Structure 1
């Protein structure tokens, strides 16, 4: 990709445009490579700026990627809200459909899943408290939107149960993604022995199963609590 021609930004509008161009270049890189391979040096080359000048707009590589993560999560939630209308059926049936929707939609967004998997261990380091606050506020807003979506599909979960389902599903996705992307050496090991091949993790299946079992378990526990609640 040819480097962009940049002139010094002198106004707020120009600076905002520079930030957008840096983010667009980084997003393009993530369509070609995993988060771990995206370097500030290569990003600087693609936008036609010295690394020191890129750092005038974003304090670190991680700060760039956190903005992209927040945007990816918002786009994902908007997609869920457009395509995931609650259906009819038992709580088990609705929970299974919701689990499939969450898992399949995340699998179809590898950039989102890759960024999520790097969030705690990588992206939330090498940033200032100011950047961390902005990111966490955006994350809280997104989690609240996901909780509302889950509650529409499974109102019997209530707020507490919906929060638990969202947290469990996201944490499983963050863990399962890198595990489902083995190195070439591990892929060769799987290919060499059918018994080892059975250890390979399917991201969609694992996230779907976790979300479905969590939803069923939470509902069962709530129903059991109601049955054993003492009457007045």
Structure 2
């Protein structure tokens, strides 16, 4: 993808568009090549920007993908909110989460990679935004299970989050292990993300 931006963004609308283009380009590169292959200087060149111009929007790689993670989390929250009109079913919730693979991928590397952010102010703001999303998810669990108290609802939200991370890691092995797992000898060790997450969410809903 090449999306040239020929003029310097001046107005708030232009700056918002520029930020959107950077995030979209980062997401596409992430999905095609993985986090390690995203290089900000290459991303800037792809967009027709200088590296300093890109840094005016995101001070480093971690801050860029933290911003993308918040967007993905908000989109997932909206999708889960649409489920609130029906009874909570493990498979449906798992499929809804799986439909947001960028969120799942970034969740899996959040604590080991993205949160190596050294800017204290940006890290604090990131956690505040995550806290807001978690609180909204708690409200949804209280809607589905009004017998819960707020702490119990929060526990379910955290269990859900941890289940996504664990199931994503175990169902998305490295490229080398993907080759190994093609051998029928290891068929019983192959894991499907939706199937694994659905089983975990049965516990989430029943307990």
Q: TM-score, normalised by structure 1?
A: 0.80
Q: How many angstroms apart in 2 are the aligned matches of 1:149 and 1:191?
A: 40
Deviation readout 1:22-74 (Å, 9 max, x if unpaired): 12222333343333332213311221112232112211111111111111111
**Residues 25 and 43 of structure 2 are in contact (CA less than 8 Å); yes or no, is this contact kept in structure 1?**
yes
Aligned to 2:36: 36
1:221 equivalent in structure 2: none
Give 1:19 deviation, angstroms: 2.1
For the pair 1:2 / 2:6, whether they are aligned, the reply is no
Match of 1:199 among 181, 189, 198: 189
* Equivalent in the alignment of 1:46: 46
Pick from 151, 156, 181 the counterpart of residue 160 of structure 1. 151
Instruction: Answer yes or no: is the 8 Å Cα contact 2:134–2:157 preserved in 1.
Output: yes
Relative to structure 1, the CA distance from residue 188 to residue 200 in structure 2 (aligned partners, 3 Å threshold; closer, same or farther) is same
Rg: which structure is higher?
A: 1
For 1:153-232, list aligned pairs within 5 A: 153-194=144-185, 196-217=186-207
In the aligned structure 2, how far is the partner of 1:133 from the partner of 1:86?
A: 35
Residue 81 of structure 1: aligned partner: 81
The C-alpha deviation readout for 1:127-159, integer Å capped at 9, x for no partner, is 411111221111001001111111111222332
**Matching residue of 1:136:** 127
Rate the CA distance shift 1:44–1:178 in 2: closer, same or farther, 3 A: farther
- Cα distance, 1:27–1:216 mapped onto 2, change above 3 Å: same
SS in 1 for 2:2: coil
Displacement, 1:180? 1.1
Q: Counterpart of 1:170 in 2: which secondary structure? A: helix
**Pairwise CA RMSD:** 2.0
Gaps of 5+ in 1: 88-93, 218-232
CA shift for structure 1 position 179: 2.3
Whole-angstrom distance in 2 between the partners of 1:10 and 1:216? 53
Runs of 5+ in structure 2 lacking a partner? none
1:27 is matched with: 27
Q: How far apart are the structure 2 equivalents of 1:38 and 1:179?
A: 23
Assess if the C-alpha contact under 8 Å between 1:59 and 1:127 holds in 2.
no
Distance 2:104 2:10 in 1: 36
Give the ranges of 4+ consecutive aligned residues of structure 1 lying more than 3 Å apart after TM superposition: 9-17
Q: 1:146 maps to which residue?
A: 137
Match for residue 63 of structure 2?
Answer: 63
